[in-house]
Structure 1
Amino acid sequence: MLSRRVSVAAMIETVMWLAIPYLVIGLVWAFFDAEQVQVIDNAWRARLPAGSDIGAFLVTAAFWPVRLLGIGLCAG
């Protein structure tokens, strides 16, 4: 399988198709993990007052595998 030639466009398409379930799971995880979103939002509010809530939601959504293992995200 490693000897097959694959175009760059096909590789990008594969990555994009794999990103869809990752992002959907992450957004659902962030929706239900509101406590972690609030912790990050409170830590970021002084540095990023306009978008700390959206940023906290997106960080929680992006790092859902880490939270799945029970590791807390460092908000500072």
Structure 2
Amino acid sequence: MIETLMWLAIPYLLIGLVWAFFDAEQVQLIDTALRTRIPAGSDIGAFLLTAAFWPAGLLGIDLCVA
């Protein structure tokens, strides 16, 4: 069961990383929201959040880090 989930995670993460690469505006919005909370890693955190929640972006839902 764990092996199946790991194999399914590979395409999910690859699609997410490509999505985050091309959705730079969303990454920038999340980065500015995270800059006050984690100033040292806000850019990486914003990129990873955008990559993890790419299905929401595919449906047109914008992420809000308030």
2:33 counterpart SS class = helix
Is 1:26 paired with 2:16? yes
Q: CA deviation at 1:75?
A: 1.8
Q: What TM-score do you get using the length of structure 2 for normalisation?
A: 0.98
Higher RCO by CA contacts (8 Å cutoff, separation 6 or greater): 2
The structure that has the greater radius of gyration is 1
Q: After superposition, where does 1:1-76 map in structure 2 within 5 Å? A: 11-76=1-66
Q: Which runs of 5+ in 1 are unaligned?
A: 1-10
Name the structure where helix makes up a greater proportion of residues. Answer: 2
**Runs of 4+ with deviation above 2 angstroms:** none
- Percent identity between the aligned chains? 80
Over the residues paired in the alignment, what is the CA RMSD in angstroms? 0.4
Q: What TM-score do you get using the length of structure 1 for normalisation?
A: 0.85
- Aligned pair count? 66
AA of the residue aligned to 1:38? Q
